[in-house]
């Protein structure tokens, strides 16, 4: 998307671009009369006409969800040429905060409790968020957390009519890759990924392609936060329970996960509760396959590429992954052959010298 920044939007003067997401740009704006600063999310209609219904869904969800920890809708405009929604402006997000400093167990428990309040409420009204990730969690000046971006929200129990599965691959529960409908436990899985990232600075799985993420979510046992950074091992079980492959083995609501996590944090020493681990490189971990799988796991856990955009789950994408995989394996074979040849040459030279 190249930037063509509008000068004004309705009663607002556009000040600057804040960020660009999968289907929209977000601008910081000032009301011409009141001077109020807001964030306006402008849909990139030219990119794909099919996103207008998604945007309408986001507007509907935002106007129905009224909760102290959910970003409220302040206004909107919808036409075939231009569509935007107005919301309060936030200085930062959990993604910004994570770049600066990781969460101590106590801070993570507090943030999760806030988030669980908002999610339990949305779930009680039949909304599954389906896109929980750091850039969708706004922070105010006191670092209180607000849930935003219901653009991909689904209704509980309804199989989506979308031809493509949307979401952000590092946070997508395994059942979504199987085409199962999202439910409360789908959001609980994403909370597990989020919690792991807030505590350790790393998500359980890193891969280059969306299809690789789907494979890892379904087939690989997630590493514990304490394997990824200096996180108290006593917190591992709760985080891993949220990351269970089977939805029935996860905590059954966001609130239940928050209570379990809070209880685990309360058992830590005061110093452990308050300690923020420093950022660290992602350690190389050989992922283990889940028991029911073949026992063979392609090694996909060594990359650290970020995948932020919603990606279509298409057959073509699945096919695309096989070609570079084959190319990689070919290069590895060639390197091994070269090494053997070099060793043989070295042995020959030693033999000649000895004679």
Ligand X SMILES: Nc1ncnc2c1ncn2[C@@H]1O[C@H](COP(=O)(O)OP(=O)(O)O)[C@@H](O)[C@H]1O
Q: Work out how close the CB of 88 gets to ligand X at its nearest, in angstroms, rounded to a whole number.
A: 6
Q: Which of 188, 189, 151 is nearest to 53 (CA)?
A: 151
- Dist CA 214 CA 67 (whole Å): 32
- Dist CA 106 CA 38 (whole Å): 31
Residue 235 contacts which entry, ligand X, Mg ion, none (Cβ below 5-8 A, type-dependent): none
Interface with ligand X (CB under 6 A): 18-22, 24, 26, 39, 41, 71, 87, 89-90, 93, 135-136, 138, 148-149, 308
Residue 138 contacts which entry, ligand X, Mg ion, none (Cβ below 5-8 A, type-dependent): ligand X
Q: In this structure, how many other beta carbons lie within 10 angstroms of the beta carbon of residue 16?
A: 8
- Dist CA 238 CA 263 (whole Å): 10
How many Cα atoms occupy the beta-carbon half-sphere of 317 within 13 Å? 15
Asked if residue 200 binds Mg ion (CB under 5 A), the reply is no
- Dist CA 147 CA 150 (whole Å): 9
Sign of the alpha-carbon torsion through 165, 171, 175, 177: positive
Asked if residue 168 binds Mg ion (CB under 5 A), the reply is no
Give me 254's structure tokens.
């966001």
Q: Work out how close the CB of 52 gets to Mg ion at its nearest, in angstroms, rounded to a whole number.
A: 17
Binding string to Mg ion for residues 11 to 40, with x set by CB under 5 A, is what? ----------x-------------------
The nearer residue to ligand X, 48 or 319, going by C-beta atoms, is 48
Q: Of the ranges 144-152, 163-171, 300-308, 338-346, which one interacts with Mg ion (CB under 5 A)? A: 144-152
Q: Which residues are catalytic?
A: 131
Residue 93 contacts which entry, ligand X, Mg ion, none (Cβ below 5-8 A, type-dependent): ligand X
User: Binding Mg ion by CB under 5 A: which of 149, 175, 236, 311?
Assistant: 149
The nearer residue to Mg ion, 135 or 293, going by C-beta atoms, is 135
Reported as type and span, the H/E element at residue 215 is helix 210-219
Which residue is closest to ligand X by CB? 21
Residue 90 contacts which entry, ligand X, Mg ion, none (Cβ below 5-8 A, type-dependent): ligand X
Burial class (CB in 10 A: 0-12, 13-18, 19+), 199: buried
Q: In the complex, which residues of this chain contact Mg ion (CB under 5 A)?
A: 21, 136, 149
């Amino acid at each position: 998307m190249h930037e063509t920044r509008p000068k004004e939007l309705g009663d607002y003067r556009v000040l600057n671009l804040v960020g660009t997401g999968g289907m929209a740009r977000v601008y910081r704006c000032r009301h011409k009369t009141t001077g109020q600063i807001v964030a306006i999310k402008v849909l990139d209609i030219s990119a794909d006409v099919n996103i207008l219904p998604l945007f309408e869904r986001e507007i509907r969800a935002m106007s129905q969800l009224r909760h102290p920890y959910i970003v409220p809708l302040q206004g909107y405009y919808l036409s075939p040429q231009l569509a935007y929604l107005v919301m309060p402006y936030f200085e930062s997000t959990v993604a910004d905060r994570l770049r600066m400093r990781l969460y101590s167990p106590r801070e993570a428990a507090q943030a999760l409790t806030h988030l669980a309040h908002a999610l339990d409420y949305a779930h009680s009204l039949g909304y599954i968020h389906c896109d929980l990730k750091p850039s969708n969690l706004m922070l105010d000046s006191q670092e209180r957390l607000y849930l935003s971006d219901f653009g991909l929200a689904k209704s509980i129990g309804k199989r989506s009519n979308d031809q493509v599965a949307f979401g952000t691959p590092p946070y997508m529960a395994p059942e979504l890759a199987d085409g199962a409908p999202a439910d409360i436990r789908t959001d609980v899985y994403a909370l597990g990924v989020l919690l792991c990232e807030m505590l350790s600075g790393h998500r359980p799985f890193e891969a280059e392609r969306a299809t690789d993420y789907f494979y890892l979510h379904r087939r690989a046992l997630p590493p514990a936060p304490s394997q990824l950074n200096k996180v108290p091992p006593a917190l591992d079980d709760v985080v891993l329970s949220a990351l269970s492959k089977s939805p029935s083995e996860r905590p059954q609501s966001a609130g239940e996960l928050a209570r379990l996590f809070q209880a685990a944090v309360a058992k830590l020493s005061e110093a452990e509760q308050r300690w923020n681990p420093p950022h660290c490189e992602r350690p190389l971990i050989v992922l283990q396959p889940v028991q029911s799988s073949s026992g063979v796991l392609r090694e996909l856990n060594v990359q650290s590429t970020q995948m932020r955009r919603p990606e279509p789950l298409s057959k073509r994408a699945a096919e695309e992954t096989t070609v570079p995989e084959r190319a990689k394996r070919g290069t590895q074979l060639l390197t091994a052959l070269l090494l053997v040849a070099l060793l043989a040459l070295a042995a020959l030279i030693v033999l000649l010298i000895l004679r």
